[in-house]
Amino acid sequence: MYKLLALFQGFLVSIMVSFNGILANYVGFYNSVFIVHLVGLISIILILILKKEHKNIEEKIPIYLFLGGGIGVFVVLFNIMCFNRLGIAITISLGLLGQSLFSCIIDHFGLFGVKINKFHKNKIIGFLLVLFGICIMTFY
């Protein structure tokens, strides 16, 4: 089930980047990022109201864990900026390569408290295949 959700999430990201990039053509980079996050805020408020979910945060949470929202702003902004110059396929492909590379670093060293999954050199073959595919998409 979760693998299917992850696949569906990939579809949604492609649609989101397309919509956000086109929206930026109408209102500009920064206004589109603002609109996207405002709509996201309204959406999650409605979901929380409908699900009647209340969570009292009593435990001490490391401050860096709240940075995901700020990072999300830059992810959306950079996707919007790249969309019109590179197109959706190259933008998403390079983003996924960057995610994959840094995810391996996070896993290998157990950064941010995640479970350690050591890097195996066989993964280099996968990264090279992805890089080769991106080169083909870029130059042909």
pLDDT score recorded for residue 139: 87
Assess whether pLDDT exceeds 80 at residue 31.
yes
Among the residues of 52-87, which ranges form H helices?
68-86
Rounded CA-CA distance 63/65 in Å is 5
CB 14 within 8 Å of CB 88: yes
pLDDT score recorded for residue 140: 81
Assess whether pLDDT exceeds 80 at residue 43.
yes
Secondary structure class of 57 (helix, strand, coil): coil
- Does the CA dihedral 5-38-15-67 come out positive or negative? negative
Pair of tokens at residue 103: 């995810």
- The confidence band for 54, taking pLDDT boundaries of 50, 70 and 90, is confident
